Amino acid sequence: MKLLIIANWKMNPQSLQEAKRIFDSIKRGVRNIKNVEVVICPPFIFMPSVGRQTPNVKIGAQNVFWEEKGAYTGEISPEMLKNSGCQYVIVGHSERRKYFTETDEIVNKKLKKIIETKLIPVLCIGETQEERNKVKTETILKRQIELVLKEVSGLKFQASRLCIAYEPIWAIGTGKPCDVEEAQKIGLLIRKIISKLYSRPISQKLRILYGGSVNSKNAAGYIKEARLQGLLVGGASLKAKEFIKIVRVVS
Ligand code: PGA
């Protein structure tokens, strides 16, 4: 299974020209790396024109709506993404949960539609600093996974090639990443939860990613020591050189 390194550009950069420049540099920088799948998630408006996908550099979306079409001003449907050549969709990112009050129930609706449309979901879960202080991480993650996967059958789960990204909210954009040992523990916990909900073989196939203040210095630890299958990179993915380094050190 290939490692998965996802660039979440969030609401950046400010122009198509700049987006193309970063995309192009990344593409050139990772051209010869075959064991990593790189997915760039630009803002919707840049997706069709940021550049061509290659076998190891794909384009993904940061969000999606749960309906197929209709009167939903400002939204983008999974079908639209699919028809524009997009393969991956980030769903349930904590910034969407915070600023757009996306609940687990909403994330569940989105996830089901993403699976139905045969896009690959990258589900984000994670606890706040406060929840962590209260030693509630396990309970929170378990609840998030159970609610978000409600009514997703084992068969569908397997076919969806779902990836789960552990993104502790206290580590996002703070420069304080999660310890490698802790990330490893959480990785095992997520697999255990999935194994209980579905089955052990299904849980073994799941790709688990880490995200939160990832850079070229700490990236390798999550893959080589914590044995996770990928990374979700925010801030550092907008600096082409730094992002290329991240891909190189894990490959
Ligand atoms: P960060 O963001 O790498 O800037 O911490 C990660 C994310 O929000 O996906």
Q: What digits encode the pLDDT tens for the residues 16-69?
A: 999 999 999 999 999 999 999 999 999 999 999 999 999 999 999 999 999 999
Atom of ligand 1 nearest to the CA of 214: 3
127 pLDDT higher than 90: yes
Determine the residue of 6, 8, 99 to mutate for testing ligand 1's pocket, defined as the one with the most ligand atoms within 8 A of the Cβ atom: 8
Q: Residue 15 — very low, low, confident or very high, per pLDDT cuts 50/70/90?
A: very high
Point out the catalytic residue in the list 95, 102, 127, 167.
167
| % of the chain surpassing 70 pLDDT | 100
Provide long-range contacts, Cβ within 8 A and 24+ apart, for 179-187.
Answer: 180/218, 180/221, 180/222, 180/225, 180/226, 181/225, 181/226, 183/210, 183/222, 183/226, 183/228, 184/225, 184/226, 184/227, 184/228, 186/137, 186/141, 187/226, 187/227, 187/228
How do residues 159-189 score in pLDDT, each as one tens digit? 889 999 999 999 999 999 999 999 999 999 9
Tokens (6 digits) for 251:
């490959």
Q: Residue 1 — very low, low, confident or very high, per pLDDT cuts 50/70/90?
A: confident
Count CB atoms within 10 A of the CB of residue 26.
22
204 pLDDT higher than 90: yes
Model confidence pTM above 0.95: yes
Residue 230 confidence (pLDDT): 98
Atom of ligand 1 nearest to the CA of 212: 5
Across the chain, mean pLDDT equals 97
Question: Which residue has tokens 């209980």?
Answer: 196
214 CB near ligand 1 (under 6 Å): yes
Average pLDDT over residues 13-17: 98
